[in-house]
Structure 1
């Protein structure tokens, strides 16, 4: 039996909202290839996204149809609420096939069976796991169909969280706190970077006394020394040295829901420039959090940050946050609203964002981040962790 992560009524609400969007766009079907969107609509949860899989939603069919590899069909039975008629599996000779078979050939047959082979079909064209060959094979198999890019259709349905989703994100925040403490405690002069990464990973999986953790969509990011000016590096076997700034960005994960958290520490006594930068980041972060409430736009939240750091003659061109929550590798972002100039998305209650207004320079960088939810009274951060520059 599927694990009771969400009840059937919650999945039904998600499907109904997605179908409503299909009708608005006059689509006969939507092929969902993003693993997070597949999970959102059906509950499917398996490390099978390295082969082609999909969920097909049509306006008139009660349940979506899961399409995947034959050996993963039992995974669909184990993790989704779908009935047997909604689980379709292709044979293994479609995988890395020497016979010029492709999973999209099988999917095309499913679309034909559903009566949409000459209809308007939405595709997630920019999803990580939907390839150029997937698109060309669908076109070859269904020449009468009209294919359209609707990459973010389900993503925008996901942007407001239910109470149960928020509960899992809050649980993920508890895991993030434990993992951040473990990482900060492990860092010290002479300690290899991988030992700190090991401590973080152990805490991410250990979770709390009440529940364990899942694997996060992004590995712990941990640039150190001169490389802290580059935010997306991981760890090496280099020992930490006195005078090293170290950035830790991580996220606990609970039932695929995340709550990212970033902090910066310094091995030894931090120079004034780094301490001052950390103070600016904290001040700007708190100003942006104060600005976030229902009815304001994403760009207005970013403006509060930008105007704060401008007092110190500091500029930052990158966005300072993005909507997030449910995710699979390679990231936990929803790819919808961003806290940046020009984004006029209006914040609503139960939206969730990772606000990460880091400052990166040629020779060092400083990150402090918070995951927050939008409430009726403003932004509420999910983690409770000191906002300061740490030292090791």
Structure 2
């Protein structure tokens, strides 16, 4: 059976070693990893099975993680991970959606096998895929263990990307560029919103001539007319009017690495006031980008952006950026640093962010954004789409 691995074994070993180092600092013996991006990061696992119980069990005294998933998905684990077959365990089907059995009893059995019956066990309490039922069942099955919250332990390690990861981020950026180009090309008066969305999704999966794309961790945001005053609206089947504003966000994917990119299209000539508004938004975005360099804090980047807005009497209280990387539903953000006031996270080369500087005011909005990677001397744009207001 051919393996599908996107990284060298040495890179996976380094990731696991970094996690174990942090576990040892916290006195954690065994770490139950449940978040799909973290499972992918540590093992390479990639299959749409995260809606069922699955975990990577990382033990200080066990060389490789043990991946536990539904039995029918063990084939995907054998294909997409570097793990030895003995370290891939299948949960019998009778545990799935059962009213009498818990898949976490099966996982607890693996923990006991690793000598973890009385261990200090870390779990991702804030994870999207670690439910209250999962925690309750594990605590019941391992009553002598000491459970501690290790949420974001892997996420903070993932924050700094390797050169191999950055290569995939650049490719994902190329897909995002192609998606924006497609949206701008097709958006015309009379074209249904759903047909614009369909064309963008086709481009997302098709990718570029060099490499294909994939499904994203979110849906396409296509905010038209009054719905452009909200940041996360979906499309309708209404035709585009002769004069309107479209805010949209696309998500380019390459081997699960996701780059987000937003732009605004004016259908019909914008008013002079709106054109000026777009110029202010772009000026602020550029100021934020120009302030990016290693050693600066996220808060300082936010400050550089905000100073431009303040000169024009505009205030944005929300964060202007979040870290991106491996993307699985429901969120691409790594839930760690934010480009906002008060965040003292220090920028390091290899960190990747979506500088999401969208402005949603009472009567107007605009979304011209830029994904970037922190470099030794500043930043690298991960996309090449011009930072302009598109007018059709």
> Shorter-normalised TM-score: what interval?
over 0.9
Distance 1:133 1:304 in 2: 44
1:209-235 Cα shifts (integer Å, max 9, x gaps): 111111111121111101111101111
Structure 1 partner of 2:309: 309
Structure 2 partner of 1:172: 172
Structure 2 partner of 1:77: 78
Checking the alignment, whether the CA contact within 8 Å between 2:217 and 2:329 is kept in structure 1 is yes
- Per the alignment, in what secondary structure is the counterpart of residue 335 of structure 1? coil
1:15-53 Cα shifts (integer Å, max 9, x gaps): 000000000110011111000000000000000011111
1:86-138 Cα shifts (integer Å, max 9, x gaps): 1111111111114x111111111111111112111111111111111001001
Residue 364 of structure 1: CA displacement?
3.0
1:287-327 Cα shifts (integer Å, max 9, x gaps): 00010100000000000001110000000000000111111
Residue 278 of structure 1: CA displacement?
1.3
Checking the alignment, whether the CA contact within 8 Å between 2:351 and 2:374 is kept in structure 1 is yes
Residue 59 of structure 1: CA displacement?
1.2
1:174-217 Cα shifts (integer Å, max 9, x gaps): 11111100011111111110100011011111111111111111
Checking the alignment, whether the CA contact within 8 Å between 2:5 and 2:81 is kept in structure 1 is no
Structure 1 partner of 2:156: 156
Checking the alignment, whether the CA contact within 8 Å between 2:122 and 2:147 is kept in structure 1 is yes
Structure 2 partner of 1:227: 227
How is 1:247-326 mapped onto 2 (pairs within 5 angstroms)?
247-326=247-326
The answer on 1:362 being equivalent to 2:362 is yes
Unaligned stretches of 5+ residues in structure 1: none
- Per the alignment, in what secondary structure is the counterpart of residue 237 of structure 1? coil
1:129-187 Cα shifts (integer Å, max 9, x gaps): 11110010011111111111111000011011011100001001111111100011111
Structure 1 partner of 2:17: 16
Count how many residue pairs are aligned between Structure 1 and Structure 2.
Answer: 391
Structure 2 partner of 1:26: 27
Structure 2 partner of 1:38: 39
The answer on 1:389 being equivalent to 2:383 is no
How is 1:67-146 mapped onto 2 (pairs within 5 angstroms)?
67-98=68-99, 100-146=100-146
Residue 363 of structure 1: CA displacement?
3.4
What TM-score does the superposition give when structure 2 sets the normalisation length? Answer: 0.98
Residue 277 of structure 1: CA displacement?
1.8
Checking the alignment, whether the CA contact within 8 Å between 2:5 and 2:82 is kept in structure 1 is no
Structure 1 partner of 2:239: 239
Structure 2 partner of 1:212: 212
- Per the alignment, in what secondary structure is the counterpart of residue 266 of structure 1? strand
Unaligned stretches of 5+ residues in structure 2: none
1:336-385 Cα shifts (integer Å, max 9, x gaps): 11001111000011111110111002333100111100111101111011
Distance 1:146 1:281 in 2: 50
Structure 1 partner of 2:374: 374
Residue 243 of structure 1: CA displacement?
2.2
Structure 1 partner of 2:62: 61
- Per the alignment, in what secondary structure is the counterpart of residue 328 of structure 1? coil
Distance 2:317 2:324 in 1: 21
Distance 1:282 1:104 in 2: 50
Distance 1:345 1:194 in 2: 40
Distance 1:194 1:331 in 2: 23
Q: Which runs of 4+ in 1 moved over 6 A?
A: none
Checking the alignment, whether the CA contact within 8 Å between 1:287 and 1:308 is kept in structure 2 is yes
